[in-house]
Chains A and B, each alone.
Chain A
Amino acid sequence: AQSVTQLGSHVSVSEGALVLLRCNYSSSVPPYLFWYVQYPNQGLQLLLKYTSAATLVKGINGFEAEFKKSETSFHLTKPSAHMSDAAEYFCAVNFGNEKLTFGTGTRLTIIP
């Protein structure tokens, strides 16, 4: 079955520390992968997407993600967290069925 799993519904990091948000997928076909961010009381904004041109994808606001086929993962990272990064992050996958399937989200809290 095709699915998306985000490990950790809540993640807290100190300001300036590394941010690591995990996303794994289950699929028998090559998926297309996205990370979206949702700030309070707002819709979703695209952070980055995997285009198959490179396994390391750079997005907005200093975020990047690495596609690892062998691990079926697409983890999101940022070297140094800022207070403004506090939000909910969603991993999304297009399994080739013309819709996006979302993970359950990870709420990121930044500790001053």
Chain B
Amino acid sequence: EAGVTQSPTHLIKTRGQQATLRCSPISGHTSVYWYQQALGLGLQFLLWYDEGEERNRGNFPPRFSGRQFPNYSSELNVNALELEDSALYLCASSGDRLFMNTEAFFGQGTRLTVV
């Protein structure tokens, strides 16, 4: 069974441009989570999508947005890129909402570099 897949693996953008990152969850999983892993800051929660709706977002500006498609895949968009947006962006999926001890499965991430 395929795990969570993310594309592209690496992305280089210029400051001010837009970046689009994609995530395909494990088959049958309806919840998708996005995290930003910047150097020295651990994983910061960005967005949660479930059943096509944005359910929660972390403390990030509105230029970080996304959507979830009918097949439960998801897209993260970052507009007006800033140098500090350079980070590894991780997508995770779960078979249900993260109640209690439900496990989240992570993809290998997209490394975004803003120059």
Contact = CB atoms under 8 A, between A and B. Distances in A.
Contact of A98 (B35, B48, B101): B48
Interface residues of B, number: 27
A41 to B, nearest CB: 8
Per CB-CB distance, the 8 closest pairs between chain A and chain B, nearest first, are A104-B42, A43-B106, A102-B43, A44-B106, A43-B108, A32-B101, A98-B98, A98-B97
Contact of B56 (A34, A99, A105): A99
Given A45-B106, A90-B42, A99 B101 contact: no
B100 A32 contact: yes
Interface string A38-74: 0001111110011110000000000000000000000
Contact of B45 (A34, A43, A100): A100
B42 A105 contact: yes
Contacts of B55: 98
B107 to A, nearest CB: 5
Given A94-B101, A101-B45, A104-B41, 5 more contacts: A43-B108, A90-B42, A94-B100, A97-B56, A99-B45
Nearest to B33: A99
B76 interface: no
